[in-house]
Amino acid sequence: MLHLRLITPSSRTAEVTAVLEACAGATNIVVLPGAAREPAGDLVLADVARESANEVISDLSWLREAGSIAAEAIHLSLSRAAEEAVEEAPGAPDDAVVWEELAQRVHSDSRITWAYLVFLAIAAQIAAIGVLTKSIILIVGAMVLGPEFGAIAAVCFGLLRRRWRLVTGALRTLVVGFAVAIAVTVACALVSRGLGWIAPSSLLGNDEVQFIVKPDRWSFIVALLAGVAGVLSITAGKSSALIGVFISVTTVPAAGYAAVAIALGDWAEVSGSVLQLAVNVAGMVIAGTATLWVQHRFWPQVGRTSSVRPMPRGRTGG
């Protein structure tokens, strides 16, 4: 469930509580008159099943300007009323996508930050070392460390909602992030070459990691599957599944391989790894956008009318 904290003008508190009371997935409703100071008004608290959150937030969207809406996940709720509210709400909690929550998350992930650049650069360097040492373990570790899927999810969400500024911003984050990661890794590889640690022959006999630079139909299929799984893991809050997505696609290893190949002047390998990177990103964007479209198109209609709490016997609506 989600815990909602609403600040509402006192003159419209009855309207807010009416929306909550009519929602089958809402319970534990508390009204504290005059408790809010900035903005001034009444404080309304409620627990809402994830399946009903979109309906409540949509009906109370005017509070964005007149008051405030805040939501946080409830990790422990010992309440029979809450259990009944979840049962009455249509659908299953893990299938529910809280669109406003997702929008804020992808907007955050679409920004270029120092942490994003550092993690991606470190991941690319670990992948490059894995390529040079033929270590699958290091390559997998680099795949887990890479933070790029957040920006890919932002592209998917932007395409779904036709928010072109978000799409361009997220694509810029991907391009700049990988460019910086490759540049840093190239610099480190050039230093290693100058010290005599690596040579053009270092990329020979690397059959164990050839999957990074030889994209084929299976690479694209894996990217499609990873895109679906990645979006579902984000919308359902399954972080363990998202780690599996990172391990499935070779975006970061492709960047690391390209950097080493650039430093060693092996341009044929550069083109193959860059193509692998492009195939993976394209496949995840296509599949991720399609997954969000299916969730947006079909899930919200499940029980939309049934999500209104039935009137007690003896009462009729006006």
Task: In whole angstroms, give the CA distance from residue 145 to residue 142.
Answer: 5
Which of 96, 120, 135 is a domain's end point? 96
CATH code: domain of residue 85:
3.30.70.120
Tens digits of residue pLDDT in 249-273: 788 999 999 999 999 988 888 888 8
pLDDT at 316 over 60: no
311 belongs to a structural domain? no
- Both 22 and 140 in one domain: the answer is no
Q: Using omega within 30 degrees of 0 as the cis cutoff, is the peptide bond preceding 39 cis?
A: yes
208 belongs to a structural domain? yes
DSSP string, 221-281: HHHHHHHHHHHHHHHHT-HHHHHHHHHH--HHHHHHHHHHHHHHT-HHHHHHHHHHHHHHH
pLDDT at 35 over 80: yes
Q: What's the domain range around 75?
A: 2-96
- Both 70 and 117 in one domain: the answer is no
Q: Considering the entire predicted model, what is its pTM?
A: 0.81
Q: Which residues contact 59 (CB under 8 A, 6 or more apart)?
A: 19
- Both 10 and 124 in one domain: the answer is no
DSSP string, 12-75: GHHHHHHHHHHBTTEEEEEEEEEEEETTEEEEEEEEE-HHHHHHHHHHTTTHHHHSEEEEEE-S
- Both 114 and 47 in one domain: the answer is no
- The region of weakest confidence among 25-39, 79-93, 98-112, 182-196 is 79-93
Tens digits of residue pLDDT in 115-136: 999 999 999 999 999 999 888 8
